Amino acid sequence: MAHQQTVLSQILQFVSYDDFYICVRRYNGNKGIRRLSCWEQFLAISFAQLAHRESLRDIEVCLTAHRKDLYRSGFRSLVKRSTLADANETRDWRIYADFAQSLIKKARPMYADSDLGLDLDATVYALDSTTIDLCLSLFPWASFRRAKGAVKLHTMIDLQAAIPVFIDVTHGKVHDVTVLDHVVFQPGSYLVMDRGYIDFQRLYQIHQAMTYFVVRSKDNLQFRRQVSRAVDKASGLRSDQTIVMTGPKTSTLYPAPLRRISYYSKDIDKRFVFLTNDFNLPPLTVAGLYRQRWQIELFFKWIKQHLKIKRFFGTSPNAVKTQIWIAVSAYVLIAIIKKQLKLEYSLYTILQILSTTLFEKMPVQRVFQRYDESVGTIEISNQLILFEI
């Protein structure tokens, strides 16, 4: 019998509709709705993320072109751009934020065995933010500079899984360090941050929560050295010290000792100074932890390049947050598919393969097998014939 399910419907089987419906009921998302349920809204925006659609009209035209396959993909009726626009404006964005968190909880254990290359038996998180530029005339509520609008995407990712575990979408003017007030710290874990998160009162709160932090120090730090430990300068280390704060405020805000490690990276000809509250970790491991922070930069780069979070389908704060959270769901869904199907491709390659086959009716595993076969054919056809018999 011919395979009747579309690739899109098979992809969505990797998520739980029951979990989604719990989120909908939590915020009465479907109350009074006659057309386009919250699930259908999620399907439409997810389709836009996976298929690289640029606008509401684009979504409507593409889905209409596959109208015979919409029911098999989870849609009860055609998606009209006006209805979808209204849904983006009025449906509570927290529905999709909570559902994304449920996907994150499912994905993280799948990547628990990933190796950071560090001799460290603990969970490591990286915290950073990225700014998403907006047109001020379309998003006047997001005024950032005189002629520019923006929102900030504050994100904490699990470095082993490269999966976001905390996301907060705020106005572009919100300072990075304030997000620490909303993060739940896990005792025994490590939190790696850049120097934009230097706030000694908040760092001391992290210390009291029995969480370790590694943060890049600022140049104007006022401190007194208590102890210096010997280091191997051939490894790039320059110093490993125990210090106390001596600034008028910092000495009160952070009354405990800190560890200060100086490291020179020959590859980029740059010196780094790190502060941490872990006095037992080898100093090179501290530098290695900070080096792993680049993964969050790659995460920001990936979602900006390959998902739709720079051009929005609505102009209200609710529409912007809805689209961002569904984009995060799409990212995590691809990560889940990668592990569930045991695929060796990068997330980018998986996304590209799926984007061209969403309404094809074949097993999703066959989609990737066909890609392997086509790549193999191309490689064979490109081989030079050295000898002819």
Over residues 90-101, the pLDDT tens digits come to: 999 999 999 999
How is the chain split into domains, by residue range?
Answer: 7-98+312-378, 195-292
Question: Which amino acid type is present at position 389?
Answer: I
Tens digit of each residue's pLDDT (9 = 90 or more) over 77-88: 899 999 999 999
Q: What angle do CA 15, 42, 334 make, to 5 degrees?
A: 45
**Residue 162: pLDDT over 90:** no
Tens-place pLDDT, residues 46-59: 999 999 898 999 99
Residue-wise pLDDT tens digits, 255-290: 999 999 999 998 889 999 999 999 999 999 999 999
Q: What is the pLDDT of residues 305-363, one digit of tens each?
A: 888 888 899 999 999 999 999 999 999 999 999 999 999 888 889 999 998 889 888 89
- The DSSP code sequence of 242-257 is EEEE-STTHHHH--S-
Mean pLDDT lowest among 206-210, 374-378, 384-388 = 384-388
Burial class (CB in 10 A: 0-12, 13-18, 19+), 384: exposed
pLDDT class for 381, splitting at 50, 70, 90? Answer: very low
Average pLDDT, the chain: 90
Structure confidence at residue 380 as a pLDDT band (50, 70, 90): very low
pLDDT band at 89 (very low <50, low <70, confident <90, very high): very high
Calculate the alpha carbon distances from 288 to 115, 252, 275, 284, 300 in Å: 13, 30, 13, 6, 21
Question: Is the pLDDT at 204 greater than 80, yes or no?
Answer: yes
> Averaged over 154-172, what is the pLDDT?
91
The pLDDT of residue 174 is: 92
Judged against a pLDDT cut of 50, whether residue 384 lies above it is answered with no
| AA identity, residue 380 | I
pLDDT score, position 377? 56
What pLDDT score does 388 carry? Answer: 46
Give the integer Cα–Cα distance in Å for 276 and 141: 38
Determine the pLDDT at residue 317: 94
pLDDT at 376: 63
On the question of pLDDT at 21 being above 80, the answer is yes
> What's the pTM value of the predicted model, to 2 decimals?
0.87
Amino acid making up residue 204: Y
Q: Is the pLDDT of residue 34 over 90?
A: no
Do residues 135 and 149 lie in contact, with contact meaning Cβ atoms separated by under 8 Å? yes
Q: Is the model's pLDDT at 186 over the cut of 50?
A: yes
pLDDT tops 90 at residue 5 = no
Residues, the chain, total? 389
Residue range 191-202: average pLDDT? 95
pLDDT bin (cut points 50, 70, 90) of residue 387 is very low
pLDDT at 389 over 70: no
pLDDT tens figures, 211-221 = 999 999 998 99
Q: What is the largest CA-CA distance in the chain?
A: 86
**Tokens standing for residue 98:** 């909570």
